A = this chain, B = another copy of it.
Amino acid sequence: MTWTLAARTAKMNPSALREILKLTERPGIISLAGGLPSPKTFPIPAFADACARVLRDDGPAALQYAASEGYGPLREAVAALLPWAVDPAQVLITTGSQQGLDLAAKVLIDPGSRVLVETPTYLGALQAFTPMEPQPVAVASDDEGVLPDDLAAKAAPGARFVYLLPNFQNPTGRTLSEARRVAVLAAAARTGLPILEDNPYGELWFDQPPPLPLAARNPEGAIYLGSFSKILAPGLRLGFLVAPKAVYPKLLQAKQAVDLHTPSFTQRVAYEVIKGDFLERHVPTIRALYKQQRDAMLAALTHKMAGLDVRWNVPAGGMFLWLRMPEGIDTARLLPQAVERGVAFVPGAPFYSGAADARTMRLSFVTASVSEIDRAVAALAGVVREALAAV
């Protein structure tokens, strides 16, 4: 038989990250690489109760085909959770927020369409966009996010959208500041540039909530993606999008063609768990745990990296911290040595759609425990010292 692959598959390559994560699954490795929420935060008894209730009270509907838009009460709950007036009719439940990226790509990207992304940006978004063959354009960014002037310059002519992850970004952990949000929105409005706003981590703030989402300030100009992965559990694959009327119907048709609908059962279980004030009680415990682990990582870095020209940021929430190594260190080449010493991280290069900064790396502070973080950072510092000695 002659299997002829579609031309787009030439651009679809195994995720560098995925290959790295395989390395880190070896026994004995402390992984600061993956973006896996701490299993300690999974509300297992609440899920068990919810499963039993859903199957007892609503089993036939929970196991039947259902509307592509999603389970009505869950759409209403999502709308009620968001910090602006959202019509539940504009909410679409997705099979993880990753699916929202796939649907947006299908509906908004033609081959060669310019799509603006942060420097660096979420690798999974690049992967979701790739099959639609966009031309990704990296917008210059600093510690507060994208630079509005560069955004405006690259928007014209005809960029389809800018993909932004404003809160505790993956991979950098940085947050788009309030002033920067105002300037970004002004630049987008001036150039007619739609925004694809991804907010999987926004609830994981440590000291104060992040500024209001961009979509809240211009609901007609943005598609907003959210997720239950970081506040309930990722294994449910439950996310959602909120889209303006200009694009919702096509996103819905794309959704229907992809998987008909997100599982009826998991949608009902999640609704049963979150209805009432569950999240108000549960999410603060995740924040407290992750803050403690971030602090442990910061303390370990300060202590173990002393005297090295290693720089890092102080994320105000989320799961990740971004490091920059001294001159002469390529983190991709450092990784095998680190794995040898029992610690894994993600090199920064794959997160850049344009020129990469090979000295960067992403560390997750949520999966490993405080004592593991301490040991892992010590091992990493040792590897850096060795590498510097060899430069």
Q: What is A's interface to B at a CB cutoff of 8 Å?
A: 1-9, 12-15, 18, 34-37, 39, 42, 44, 47-48, 51-52, 55-56, 59-66, 68, 95-96, 98-99, 102, 106-110, 113, 124, 127-128, 130-132, 158, 160, 188-189, 192-195, 218, 220-222, 229, 233-237, 244, 246-247, 249-250, 253-254, 256-266
Are the C-beta atoms of A1 and B127 separated by less than 8 Å? no
> Given A5-B108, A55-B44, does the pair A258, B257 have CB atoms closer than 8 Å?
no
Residue of B nearest to A134 (CB): B6
Q: What are 30 A-B pairs with beta-carbon distances under 8 A?
A: A1-B189, A2-B192, A3-B244, A3-B246, A4-B158, A5-B107, A5-B250, A6-B109, A6-B132, A8-B110, A9-B250, A9-B253, A15-B256, A39-B64, A47-B63, A48-B52, A48-B55, A52-B52, A63-B235, A65-B229, A95-B237, A95-B262, A98-B259, A99-B259, A124-B260, A130-B257, A131-B257, A237-B263, A258-B258, A263-B266
Partner of A44, one of B34, B63, B244, B261: B63
Are the C-beta atoms of A128 and B4 separated by less than 8 Å? no
Please indicate which of the listed interface residues A113, A218, A233 has the most CB atoms of chain B within 10 Å of its own CB. A233
Are the C-beta atoms of A65 and B235 separated by less than 8 Å? yes
Are the C-beta atoms of B42 and A59 separated by less than 8 Å? yes
Are the C-beta atoms of A256 and B6 separated by less than 8 Å? no
Q: Which residues of B contact A36 (CB under 8 A)?
A: 64-65
Are the C-beta atoms of B51 and A1 separated by less than 8 Å? no
Are the C-beta atoms of B63 and A107 separated by less than 8 Å? no
> Given A192-B2, A250-B5, does the pair A127, B256 have CB atoms closer than 8 Å?
yes
- Complex Cα distance, B388 from A90, in Å, reads 44
- Complex Cα distance, B96 from A261, in Å, reads 9
Are the C-beta atoms of A237 and B262 separated by less than 8 Å? yes
Please indicate which of the listed interface residues A9, A39, A98 has the most CB atoms of chain B within 10 Å of its own CB. A9
- Complex Cα distance, B254 from A2, in Å, reads 20
Number of copies: 2
Residue of B nearest to A10 (CB): B250
Q: Which residues of B contact A107 (CB under 8 A)?
A: 5-6, 9
A317 CB to closest chain B CB, in angstroms? 20
> Given A1-B218, A51-B51, A189-B1, does the pair A256, B106 have CB atoms closer than 8 Å?
no
With A3-B246, A9-B250, A47-B59 known, 13 other A-B pairs at CB within 8 A are A1-B195, A1-B220, A3-B247, A4-B108, A6-B106, A6-B132, A8-B106, A42-B64, A44-B59, A51-B52, A65-B234, A237-B261, A237-B264
A80 CB to closest chain B CB, in angstroms? 24
A123 CB to closest chain B CB, in angstroms? 10
Residue of B nearest to A56 (CB): B48
Please indicate which of the listed interface residues A7, A47, A65, A259 has the most CB atoms of chain B within 10 Å of its own CB. A259
Residue of B nearest to A95 (CB): B259
Q: Which residues of B contact A65 (CB under 8 A)?
A: 34-36, 229, 234-235
- Complex Cα distance, B47 from A298, in Å, reads 45
Q: Which residues of B contact A6 (CB under 8 A)?
A: 106-110, 113, 132
Q: Which residues of B contact A158 (CB under 8 A)?
A: 4
